Chains A and B, each alone.
Chain A
Amino acid sequence: MIAAGVPALRFGRMPRWAGPLPLTVGIAVIAVWIVLALGAPWLAPYDPFLQDLAVRLQPPGALHPFGTDNFGRDILSRVIWSARVDLTMGVIGVAFPFLIGTGIGAVAGYFGGAVDLIFMRILDMVLAFPFLVLVLAILAILGPGLTSFYIALALVGWVSYARLIRAQVLVVKGSDFVIAARSLGYSHLRIMFRHVLPNSIVASIVFAMSDIVLVVLSGSAISYLGLGVQPPTAEWGVMIAEGQSYISTAWWITTFPGVAIVLMAFGFSMLADGLGEKLGLDG
């Protein structure tokens, strides 16, 4: 902690429309990635798969700003095309655990009793294994590939959301406005979707944003291990894996995809922070 007496930094007053600063930064960074991903065919200077052995292992320069790899493929183009794969991976990899976890957590918390008991014991079992170990085990059973990876994530990832939502639902369902909804004779569905969930889901949305980071990183890790995205597809993890044998002679092959992962992670982290601040304060 800073000693007392140090004057606080002063910022100019933010205009009303501006959200929290992290939110603005996060949205900006993610927007850039989305533009790159959607516009890859036009924005990437070269075909990401085009091999040109004449220009293999070129350091960054005018023709190839990020250099080329051992097959002479343009690193910049491959990094841009990778954004497609990795963004999709992050979103799909989080969407299913989010939906499954929210559903199970909400039902368990709202109805309680035996339903709650059964789901929570299953959750404890999943939780007993380390995340990546369980994902790898499921991948080993299902075989390598992105589909297997999504299934593995859905089977393992839902537990965090279920626990988060359940805890929130337990708090919210005791509040007067939910009792009021019951006393007004609303159906369970209405109470759940109109009254309980909107007031318990914020923490999960925020968590989902930072979870995207985790999914992209573990997706890259899985691809690095050869169990996720298969070469020659351009994906940051695959690129790092392919470039590792050249790391002492051609640093650019692994560095730029690494920086890309960090930047995307940074964007989602900021988005998560800002969203938490914004949704926490706003009704």
Chain B
Amino acid sequence: MTAAAPLLEISNLAVRYRTGGFARPGHDRPMVRAVDDVSFALHAGETLGVVGESGCGKSTLARAILRLEPIAGGSIRLDGREMASAQGAEIAWLRARTAMIFQDPYNALNPRMSVGETLGEVVRVHRKAASLENRTRVLDLMALVGLGPELVDRKPRSLSGGQCQRVGIARALALEPELVIADECVAALDVSIQGQIINLLIDLKAKMRLALIFIAHDLTVVRRLCDRVAVMYLGRIVEIGSTEEIFTRPKHPYTRALIRAIPEMDPNRPLFQELLPGEPPSPIRTPAGCAFHPRCPEVMQICRDGPPPILSTAEDRNVACHRFPGAGVP
């Protein structure tokens, strides 16, 4: 599996924001480390789930990979080309190969454009069909995501949430991308619609050999869809591995807590389990040592003193935890 060069290779990616307001005299305003030292690789046709609590930097990571956020450091290599510092034509090259699916299906579509106009625009701008065949291509795309041709002239306002999300997916696919990033793309939908959209994604990635980064906080959805999972905490990846590994043999205490918190339809399971105490700390002032140590049930002295090992791109299975110093080997 790792024989071929990866499609996407992220190393030590960082996104920082300066906070608003006034600084103390003699100091810069404090920095928010939204994404910090994130590294992973993704192969063509592979699906990586990115999970973590709200505010842990999942969405920022997604936007940073697509160069929609300013990048503070690190590298993003797509097909071997460096994108973290790309400008102008290089960005255009990136944009022609990547697409994004959004969380809020209504807000993601221009309310003044019909389905046909929205999809036709991508096809036209990226010259994915001769101008005379634009309409045919649009209808093909709609069929691909399970939308009937009668919806072509509808505005988003008169579509359901699920239909809007299908349009959003069709818009991403119209580009014929190599990499699609889906940012919480089912979180805003009803559970029954969620299932349909997930099935559609499973279908499409098999059909089109898409590399997909699927951002979610719903672990059951991730388990169904993803080949590998990365767990994020406070802007860093704390554990990464195959879905099977992460769900059956989670190592990092945070991953274990997340997996324990999955609600199950099991009447024999005790209702209340030991969950993580407290809230994640502010990313402005991350705790010294391991950022997770104030909430960690297995905290050791070394966790307060020094940061855990930083994960590198090379490893398929990795844990950033002092309990697993020889991380990398399962």
Q: Mark A residues whose CB is within 8 Å of B.
A: 175-177, 179-186, 190, 194-195, 198-199, 283
Task: Write 29 A-B pairs (CB below 8 A) sorted by A numbering.
Answer: A175-B107, A176-B107, A177-B108, A177-B111, A179-B68, A179-B100, A180-B100, A180-B108, A180-B168, A183-B66, A183-B99, A183-B100, A184-B99, A184-B125, A184-B126, A184-B171, A185-B92, A185-B95, A185-B96, A185-B125, A185-B126, A186-B121, A190-B125, A194-B121, A195-B110, A198-B110, A198-B112, A199-B112, A283-B111
B292 / chain A contacts, CB cutoff of 8 Å: none
Contact A184 B102 (CB under 8 A): no
B108 / chain A contacts, CB cutoff of 8 Å: 176-177, 180
Report how far A184 CA is from B96 CA in the complex, Å: 7
Report how far A176 CA is from B175 CA in the complex, Å: 18
* Interface members, chain B 83-117 (any A CB < 8 Å): 91-92, 95-96, 98-100, 102-104, 107-113
Contact A283 B171 (CB under 8 A): no
**B44 on interface, CB distance cutoff 8 Å:** no
**B156 on interface, CB distance cutoff 8 Å:** yes
Q: Mark B residues whose CB is within 8 Å of A.
A: 63, 66, 68, 91-92, 95-96, 98-100, 102-104, 107-113, 121-122, 125-126, 155-157, 168, 171, 175
How far apart are A179's CB and chain B's nearest CB, in angstroms?
A: 6
Contact B95 A184 (CB under 8 A): yes
Given contact pairs A177-B111, A184-B126, A283-B112, enumerate 13 new A-B contacts (beta carbons under 8 Å).
Answer: A176-B102, A176-B104, A176-B108, A177-B107, A177-B108, A179-B63, A180-B171, A181-B110, A184-B125, A184-B171, A190-B125, A198-B112, A283-B155
Given A183-B100, A184-B125, A186-B125, check contact A177 B110 (CB 8 Å).
yes
B110 / chain A contacts, CB cutoff of 8 Å: 177, 181, 194-195, 198-199
10 A-B pairs with least C-beta separation: A185-B95, A283-B155, A176-B108, A176-B107, A176-B102, A198-B112, A177-B110, A183-B100, A283-B157, A183-B66
B68 / chain A contacts, CB cutoff of 8 Å: 179, 182-183
How far apart are B131's CB and chain A's nearest CB, in angstroms?
A: 16
Contact A183 B112 (CB under 8 A): no
Report how far A184 CA is from B68 CA in the complex, Å: 11
Report how far A186 CA is from B112 CA in the complex, Å: 17
Contact B104 A183 (CB under 8 A): no
Contact B155 A183 (CB under 8 A): no
Report how far A156 CA is from B122 CA in the complex, Å: 40
Report how far A175 CA is from B98 CA in the complex, Å: 19
B171 / chain A contacts, CB cutoff of 8 Å: 180, 184
A194 / chain B contacts, CB cutoff of 8 Å: 110, 113, 121
Report how far A194 CA is from B112 CA in the complex, Å: 9
Contact A183 B98 (CB under 8 A): yes
Total contacts A-B at CB 8 Å: 59
Report how far A194 CA is from B120 CA in the complex, Å: 13
Contact B122 A184 (CB under 8 A): yes
B113 / chain A contacts, CB cutoff of 8 Å: 194
B109 / chain A contacts, CB cutoff of 8 Å: 177, 180
CB < 8 Å neighbour of A183 from B95, B103, B107 = B95
Report how far A175 CA is from B108 CA in the complex, Å: 7
CB < 8 Å neighbour of B111 from A179, A186, A199 = A199
How far apart are B144's CB and chain A's nearest CB, in angstroms?
A: 17
How far apart are B118's CB and chain A's nearest CB, in angstroms?
A: 9
Report how far A90 CA is from B103 CA in the complex, Å: 45
How far apart are B161's CB and chain A's nearest CB, in angstroms?
A: 14
**Smallest CB-CB separation from A183: which chain B residue?**
B100
**Smallest CB-CB separation from A177: which chain B residue?**
B110
A186 / chain B contacts, CB cutoff of 8 Å: 121, 125
B96 / chain A contacts, CB cutoff of 8 Å: 185
Report how far A181 CA is from B168 CA in the complex, Å: 12
How far apart are B129's CB and chain A's nearest CB, in angstroms?
A: 15
A176 / chain B contacts, CB cutoff of 8 Å: 102-104, 107-108
B121 / chain A contacts, CB cutoff of 8 Å: 186, 194
CB < 8 Å neighbour of A283 from B63, B102, B103, B156 = B156
A199 / chain B contacts, CB cutoff of 8 Å: 110-112
**Smallest CB-CB separation from B113: which chain A residue?**
A194
**Smallest CB-CB separation from A187: which chain B residue?**
B125
A283 / chain B contacts, CB cutoff of 8 Å: 111-112, 155-157
**Smallest CB-CB separation from A202: which chain B residue?**
B112
**Smallest CB-CB separation from B121: which chain A residue?**
A194
Report how far A186 CA is from B126 CA in the complex, Å: 9
Report how far A199 CA is from B122 CA in the complex, Å: 19
Residue in A177, A186, A190, A195 whose Cβ sees the most chain B Cβ within 10 Å: A177
**Smallest CB-CB separation from B157: which chain A residue?**
A283
Report how far A15 CA is from B63 CA in the complex, Å: 47
How far apart are B210's CB and chain A's nearest CB, in angstroms?
A: 16
How far apart are B108's CB and chain A's nearest CB, in angstroms?
A: 4
Report how far A127 CA is from B62 CA in the complex, Å: 42
Report how far A180 CA is from B171 CA in the complex, Å: 9
How far apart are A192's CB and chain B's nearest CB, in angstroms?
A: 13
Residue in B91, B108, B156, B175 whose Cβ sees the most chain A Cβ within 10 Å: B108
